[in-house]
Every structure is written in C-alpha cells, then in structure tokens.
Amino acid sequence: MKGKLDPSVRQALVEEGKNLKEGLIALEEDLVQLTDKLQLEAQSIPNTTHPDVPVGGEESSVLRKEVGSQRSFNFAIKDHLQLGKELDLFDFDAAAEVSGSKFYYLKNEAVLLEMALVNWAISEVSKKGFTPLITPEIVRSSVVEKCGFQPRAKNTQVYSIEDSDQCLIGTAEIPVGGIHMDSILAESALPLKYVAYSHCFRTEAGAAGAATRGLYRVHQFSKVEMFIFCRPEESGKWHEELITIEEDLYASLGLHFKTLDMATGDLGAPAYRKFDIEAWMPGLERYGEISSASNCTDYQSRRLGIRYRPSPSEPPSTSTKKGKGAASGPTQFVHTLNATAVAVPRLIVCILENFQQGDGSIVVPEPLRPYMGGLELLSPKFK
Amino acid sequence: MLTCGRFISSSAATSTASFFPFRTLTRSLVRRPAPHLLSSASAAAATAVELDTNDGSAGGGAGVVRPQWKAAIDFKWIRDNRDAVADNIRTRNSTANLDLVFELYDQYLTLQKEVERLRAERNAVANKMKGKLDPSVRQALVEEGKNLKEGLIALEEDLVQLTDKLQLEAQSIPNTTHPDVPVGGEESSVLRKEVGSQRSFNFAIKDHLQLGKELDLFDFDAAAEVSGSKFYYLKNEAVLLEMALVNWAISEVSKKGFTPLITPEIVRSSVVEKCGFQPRAKNTQVYSIEDSDQCLIGTAEIPVGGIHMDSILAESALPLKYVAYSHCFRTEAGAAGAATRGLYRVHQFSKVEMFIFCRPEESGKWHEELITIEEDLYASLGLHFKTLDMATGDLGAPAYRKFDIEAWMPGLERYGEISSASNCTDYQSRRLGIRYRPSPSEPPSTSTKKGKGAASGPTQFVHTLNATAVAVPRLIVCILENFQQGDGSIVVPEPLRPYMGGLELLSPKFK
C-alpha cells in the first residue's frame, strides 16, 4: 500500500489488511496458549538418566559402598525416643499441643548436639573450599517450581504462606539454586561451591505409619546442604566429590552406613543420578536415609536461567572487534548438584541409638566434642 | 403456672427463641447482688471470678463459631478496680472498651441468675412429678416442664453468646502497669542505665551495608529476587558471626541455670493469641500458613510459653528458666522508610530468647535479673547502649513493665533497639492456662488425709517473663559499624573469637 494507488484498489487492500490482522491476532492468541500448554507438558519431562543408573524400583538400587558394620550390643538396647525421654532431650508431647504432631522441642544436651553438628559440618565443608551461606527460608513459589518441586500438587511437601505467592523451603537447595537465577556467570568463576545452613519445613503429607516415629520424620529440621554450580563436563566429577565428603563425614562420626546408587524409579524429576546414604539405626531396627547427593545436570539451570560464558579458547588476535564476545562461544547452561552434609534429626537418632551404653548414657562422637565444650558423654541425670 | 411466661411476656418474642431475648429480660428485672461465679479450675474459695459456661447446652446459634480458648479473666477484680483499669487503658492507648465490658458483665450476671432460677423451677417440676398424680395434673406439669425446658435452652444459648462476647471484650484489656513505669509515649521512656559512649572515629565511617558489600558478607539483591525485599543471605564470615553469637549466648545464659531449648517455628494460631499477639489483625506481624490454623512464630517466646500450657506446675519446680534458640519470622507490615535499611528490619532472623515461669512474688526480681544478664552480654561485646524503662504508650498489651536496650549504630547514626525484657505477670499465664500448686506451708501432720492436696492452697497463676539474649541481625549491625577500622576491616569482639576458630579480624579479601 506504499505506492500511489487507485482509491478502490486501496480500499480493497485495506479490507484485506484488516482481515489479515484480525486473523493474525486470533492465531497469535492461540499460539500463546499452545506454547504455554506445550511448555507445561514438556517441563514435566524428567531429566535424562546416567547410563550406569540401575533400572527399576527402590529395591533395584545398587550398593556402591558400605562402611562399618552393625554393632552388637550385650544389653537390651533402646530406641532414640526412650533414650531421649530418660536423658530429657526432647519433648514431643508439648510440641503436639503447641504445634501439632511431628513437631518437637530439643532440650539440654540435644541442643548442644544440634549446634555441634551444624558448626562442625560448616567448618569441615568450608575447609574444602565451599562458601558458607545462611539462606532465606521463605521463597517465591516460582523458585520452588524452578528447582523441580511442586508447591501446588496434591499431597505437596511444600508449606505455602497465606495471601502470598511465597512458600517455606523444604531444603536450602532452593534458595541456593536461586541465588544465581537469571544470571550469566563467567566460566572462570566456576565451580561455585556453597555450604548452606537453614531450617527446612516439610508437610510430609501422605507419609504415615511406623516409619514416622520420633525424630525420623518431622515437619521442621536443621540441615547443612552442599550445592555446586559447575561446567557440564565436570558434574560427574563433582558428584563423586560430594558423595566422598558425605562418606568421610559419617565415617568420622563412627556410623555404619551404605551408599546406594538409586534406581530410576526413585530418582525424582531433576536428578540425572542420585546417591543416597542409609545409616544403621539399631533402635528403629532399620537403615534410614540420612543424606542424598544429586547431580541435576542442566534440569534446574534451564528453569532458573543460569548460564555461563565460556572463556575465549585463544587470546583475541588483531581482530578489530572489541571485547570478549567475539572469541567466546555462546552461553551454556551450568550443571547443578546438591548434597546433604548434615540433616540433624536423623543424625541424632543415629548417635543416640548407636552409641548408647548399658547404663543409658551416650558416647559423644569425637569430632563433635570440641563443639560441645569437650563433653564426652551424655549421662542420665538424677532429677 | 407457666413461670416462663414472666420473662417472655414483656417482649414481642414468642415461644421461638429470638436472638437476644435477654435484653428484654434484663430491662424488666431488678439487679441483684452478683453471686460468686467460680471457674471449674478453682473450686475452693478463690479470689478470682471467672465466667462459667459449663452448662453443657447448645453451643450458640446455628453456624456460630465459638472462640477456641478463653483467658481466665478476674472479673471481680476488674469490677472492684474500675477506675484504675480505665486509667490504665487510657495511658496505654489501648482500644479496649471497658464500658462495654461492664455492660456485658452486668447482663451476664443477670442472665446467669435467670438461668439458674429456671433450672431450679424445672427441677421443682420434675420433683413434683415423682409421686402418684392425677392424670390431668400430671399432664399440666409435663406441659409446664416442657415450656421451662424450651425457655431454658433459649436462655442458655443467649448466655453462651453473651459470655463469648464478654470474654472477647475483656481479653483485650491490657495488663496492669507497674507503678514506676513512666506515663506517656515513646519520648517519655526513662533512661535506667547507660554503658560506654559513642566512639569517635578519625576516618570516614561506613554503614553496615557498605561494609558488608566490601567484605562480601551479605546479599540482599539475590534475596530480593528469590524471596522478596527485606530478605538476605549471610555469607562467609557473617555466617560464622551469626553462629558465634548464637553459640555464645546459649553457653553464657545456660551457665546461669537456664535450660537450653530449640523450638518449633510453626505453631497453632491459638497459641500465638494466648501470648498476646494478634495473627488475624490488619497489618499483623504474623505470617499464617495456607489451609491451616498454623502460623510462623515471630519470637521463641510463643513456643516456650506454650510448652507448659494447660498445666499445673509444682511450686518446687519454679522458677523454670529457659534459653531458647529459634528463627523468627515477621511480616513487618506497616513498617516502611529509612528505618528499614539493610539488616535493621528484616522478615527472618535468628534469636536466642530467655523465658522464665515463676511465682508472682518473684517476677520483679527476675525482671531485674534478666535485664542484668542482657546488659552484661552487650557490655562484654564492647557495645555502647542505653537501657530504657519503656513508657505506658509503648508497652504492648501483655507487659506489666518493659525494659528495652538501644545500642549505638554509628553507620545508621542512631540508637537502635537490640533487645527487650518484659514482665508479663499473669497476662499470658491466664491465657495459656499455666498454674502452680503452692507447697504445703507445714509438713502433713498425723492427719489421715493422703497426699499433698489437703494442706496446699488453691492453684495460682504463674508469672511469665521474656527477654532477648541475642537478636542476630542488629548485633551484626552493631559489630560491623562500631568495630570497623580505617582499612575496612572489622575487629571481632573478644567473647566471640573462641566460637569463630580464634578469628580476630574480618579483613577485606583481594577477590
């Protein structure tokens, strides 16, 4: 319509243009809706899986490593609830009144034990080059979703805040993953390694039965979490590093545990590969999960928008183009990994049940003693 | 004779229960002296007069939601001290409506009496029907009994609603006030103690935000994306500083006989209310959990107060002293402006709180003890601060007396509140239902009665006190701003060094 035209020709063109425009608007709306639907469906596709991961349900998980063995006791042992009662370490009854079931107060030496576990873990892991962090425990629900969790699902693990788009975190993985959201990192900055301390809140909706006794399954607990942002080629190596750090921590506490390579049915959408550690809990007569280390490759970073700019492979030549942009490649998504250093309640279960003595006292693991003012033994008090 | 006709006749109401027939009732009746109404908890000759709705009847009209709990209000005391209570409400700028309370209380007494009278008549009719009677006489009695019963049910429903309303109004009456508390607003608070003085710097000082940025100690920007404004990440040595402050405080305070506690941070909203907070108010400080009657705590005072709710403690167990560590969550709704910069006002923070349950005669002494512990803690950190006896306008409903400590923050150029110590006397315990049984004054004699019950007095409400040991973010502000050096490094206060692996200085890193 740019040239000089006959009025009737122009009019016809205007009509045609108008029809095209309306049709286009309608189609563009459809495209947006279709794109949203496509995006939603595609986002529910789980991460790819490492070729060595065993296929099947929980029972197909493969033993990678076993440390220690089940201690044999020459006296009748107690579970952590009874030990805690006799040593005045917890109060579940008062917490049930004040807050509801699966809440608890820690008292006396149990407070020192929690603080010691946290302090010790932060100290040990930061020595290995991890940056200590204390994180928000309230986050936007979108960040929760980007990490691969589902705050709005039926039986969700996530607590939501009323009149708000915010949620409580179930793990520091979420605020740590979010710390670099929508960013482009320099390759030279990688790997970024964090050790983060937070409280964690989980609804445990749908979890019932004997496996929820005492400290084993609770709504609120303290956790020190390790998180790594790295180049894709390195995530396998960092996964091995993380599981080794965990195994060293628990071995030094004197625990007996198994490291499992979790089977496909147990991975959870974000994980490319997941190693769980299950420790022996003699009072509960079971191995219980005390930590989990996942390599999420680019699943989370594609959602959180975390990229890095690869460094130029050769120094810039006499090219007239300014800046690094010309010689470096396009941005890539980082890989993310997360691993539990200490999840306090289950470690308290392990310590109480494994290190109990015939007289009802508990031997404090050596690495924790400096963090408890040198305390070596939790003894029954004459009250 | 249909005795129930007496109270219905003067109103337009028919035999169907109208909403408030008692209004007509009270106007037509002569006021009688108030009977002593005893709560079910203190059956012996108690000085407290509480409302008794244990009549087992219908719980209010259709669809009416009863309150989940009620405070043990001493109505007789309020009535005997009306002027003092009114004065107190005024000086505290409370919105409690005392006149309404009295009006409702009088209606309550009258209605209660009427209900008792009807019950007595109904019993009399029932007794009359026990013997051998003429069928027509029996029939008339049955009719009368039925009318009395219907009338009674209606009145009892009214009584429940009236009691709930009275209870609600009365619960908003603030605690009494210590006679030495200055009267007035914030500016009337009185200085009790001053420790140290404002340090003079021979270089241009920075505020904690700038120091934190240069030392890579916080990240507010990332937190704003992930969580929203007034959230933050602590990084590097700031993490060690927080852990050190918490560890040190728990250690120091437990040496003084306080039992360490780590508490739930999610609690039932009724417990929040019983401590004197208002989760449902507009601009509430309290975060609520969706699809639940639970809230996030703003202070460990709440779960610690709740640990002994609905209990009777032995006198020998008192005082019970706790030092509790928790995270605290506050909406800070309605707080805006420059006073919210950086770590000064945040939605989430760590706090170590002291809490005492004691005998009433001792709460004054424990209040002094608590403020002394706080002053010693902050003096040992090397802070300059002022302890204030807060004025009536600044007390908050639960506090009988409140001491605040404000520390000098040179970067923010202001004194900022770093702790608060309140004596709540029996305000919280009347709501949480925490009593103690006084020990017998003499050992049991050769009396044949078993147990302690016979010689000990009726149960009494304990007094509760709470005081901040450390509230981490504002102490970080104080430490960074006060102990900064010309080269941008920060001197770590001596008491914290053992908890930071001996670290003496936070130094700028070459990054």
The ipTM of this complex is: 0.91
Q: Is residue A383 part of a domain?
A: no
Number of domains in chain A: 1
Q: Whole-angstrom Cα distance, residue B326 to residue B352? A: 7
Instruction: Please give the pLDDT value at position B338.
Output: 52
Query: What is the Cα–Cα distance from A9 to A14, expressed in whole angstroms?
Result: 9
- Per the domain annotation, does A127 fall within a domain? yes
A133–B239 CB contact, under 8 Å: yes
Q: Is residue A320 part of a domain?
A: no
**Cα–Cα dist A63/A289, whole Å:** 14
Provide the domain limits for residue A278. 58-310+329-371
Asked whether residue A15 is assigned to any structural domain, the reply reads no
The secondary element (H helix, E strand) that includes residue B320 is strand B320-329
End-to-end CA distance of chain B: 97
Whole-angstrom distance, CA of residue B325 vs CA of residue B336: 28
The verdict on residue A45 lying in a domain is: no
Looking only at the bridges linking them, the beta strands covering B414-423 and B294-296 are unpaired
- Model pLDDT, residue B57: 45
Q: How far is A326 from chain B (nearest CA, A)?
A: 26
Token pair 């030496």: residue: A109
In angstroms, how far is the first alpha carbon of chain A from the final one?
Answer: 97
In this predicted structure, what is the pLDDT of residue B29?
Answer: 36
Q: How far apart are CA B503 and CA B491, in angstroms?
A: 9
Q: Which residues pair with B314 in a beta bridge?
A: B437
Crossing angle (nearest 10°) for helices B237-254 and A109-126:
160
Q: Report the gap between the CA of B272 and the closest CA in chain A (Å).
A: 9
Is there a contact between A365 and A253 (Cβ–Cβ < 8 Å)? Answer: yes
Q: Which two tokens stand for residue A348?
A: 């308290």
Alpha helices in B9-97 (DSSP H): 21-28, 75-80, 82-91
| Chain A residue numbers touching B310 (CB-CB < 8 A) | 97
User: Is B418 annotated in some ligand binding site?
Assistant: yes
Chain B residues within an 8 Å CB radius of A103: 264, 266
CATH of the domain at A290: 3.30.930.10
Residue of B nearest to A108 (CA): B260
pLDDT at B169: 92
Which sequence positions of A are flagged as catalytic? 202, 217, 289, 292, 346
Spell out the residues 6+ positions from residue A20 whose beta carbon is closer than 8 angstroms to its own. none
As a 3-state breakdown, chain A gives helix, strand, coil percent values, each rounded to 5, of 35, 25, 40
Going by DSSP bridges, is the β-strand pair A192-201/A131-134 parallel, antiparallel, or unpaired?
A: parallel
* pLDDT value, residue A319: 47
Q: What are phi and psi of A71, to 5 degrees?
A: -70, 140
C-beta of residue B106 within 8 angstroms of C-beta of residue B35: no
Helix ranges (H only) for chain A are 7-43, 80-86, 92-98, 109-126, 141-146, 173-178, 235-252, 299-304, 344-354
- What pLDDT band is residue A208 in, cutting at 50, 70 and 90? low
Q: Per the CB < 8 Å rule, is B260 touching A118?
A: no
**Positions of chain B with pLDDT lower than 70, given as ranges:** 1-50, 52-64, 336-340, 441-456, 510-511
Residue B10 marked as a ligand binder: no
Record: contact B232-A162, CB cut-off 8 A: no
Q: Whole-prediction pTM value?
A: 0.88
Q: CB–CB of B307 and A94 under 8 A? A: yes
Chain A residues whose beta carbon lies within 8 Å of the beta carbon of residue B225: 178, 181-182
Nearest to A140 among B226, B234, B242 (CB): B226
Give me the sign of the Cα torsion angle A20, A23, A28, A31: negative
Residue of chain B whose Cα is closest to the Cα of A169: B227
What pLDDT is stored for residue A283 in this prediction? Answer: 93
- pLDDT, tens digit (0-9, with 9 covering 90-100), for B286-345: 999 999 999 999 999 999 999 999 999 999 999 999 999 999 999 998 776 656 679 999
Cα–Cα distance for residue pair B339/A343, rounded to 1 Å:
37
Name which of B276, B208, B273 is nearest B426 in CA terms.
B276
Q: Is A314 annotated as a binding residue?
A: no
Average pLDDT over residues A17-41: 94
Q: How far is A263 from chain B (nearest CA, A)?
A: 32
User: Chain B residue closest to A89 (CA)?
Assistant: B261
Q: Determine if residue B422 is labeled as part of a ligand binding site.
A: no
Residue of B nearest to A144 (CA): B226
Q: Is A156 annotated as a binding residue?
A: no
Rounded CA-CA distance B346/B351 in Å is 13
SS (H, E, C) A216-257: HCCCEEEEEEEEEEECHHHHHHHHHHHHHHHHHHHHHCCCCE
- Among candidates A100, A111, A180 on the partner chain, residue whose Cβ is nearest the Cβ of B294: A100
The sign of the torsion formed by the CA atoms of A143, A145, A149, A155 equals positive
pLDDT of residue B136: 87
What residues of B are in contact with residue A131 (Cβ under 8 Å)? 235-236
Q: Percent of chain A, pLDDT > 90?
A: 85
pLDDT of B468: 97
pLDDT at residue A245 above 60?
A: yes
Share of chain B above pLDDT 70, in %: 83
Helix B21-28 vs helix B98-128: crossing angle, to nearest 10: 90
Q: Is B346 annotated as a binding residue?
A: yes
Query: How many angstroms separate the CA atoms of A177 and A184, rounded?
Result: 14
Residues of A whose CB is below 8 A from B325: 111, 115
A285-338 pLDDT, tens digit per residue, is: 999 999 999 999 999 999 999 999 998 765 555 544 444 444 567 999 999 999
Q: What is the mean pLDDT of chain A?
A: 93
Would A36 be classed as within a structural domain?
no
Type of residue found at A368 = L
Select from B203, B183, B167, B173 the least CA-distant residue to B489.
Answer: B203
Burial track B430-445 (b if 16+ CB lie within 10 A, e otherwise): bbbbbbbbeeeeeeee
Contact A99 B290 (CB under 8 A): no
CB spacing of A138 vs B501 below 8 angstroms: no
Whether the CB-CB separation of B389 and B182 falls below 8 Å is answered with yes
Distance CA B425, CA B398 (A): 8
Q: Is A285 annotated as a binding residue?
A: no
Chain B residue whose CA is closest to A373: B251
Rounded CA separation B233/A129 (Å): 18
Which chain A residues contact residue B251 at CB under 8 A?
373
d(CA B75, CA B86): 14
The domains of chain B, with CATH numbers, are 75-172 (1.10.287.40), 186-440+456-506 (3.30.930.10)
The shortest CB-CB distance from A114 to any of B226, B262, B289 is to B262
Structural domain contains residue A90 = yes
CB contact under 8 A, A97 and B234: no
Contact B287 A161 (CB under 8 A): yes
Q: Which residues contact residue B162 at a Cβ distance below 8 angstroms, ignoring those fewer than 6 apart?
A: B22, B104, B107, B108, B111
- Percentage of the residues of chain A whose pLDDT score is greater than 70: 94
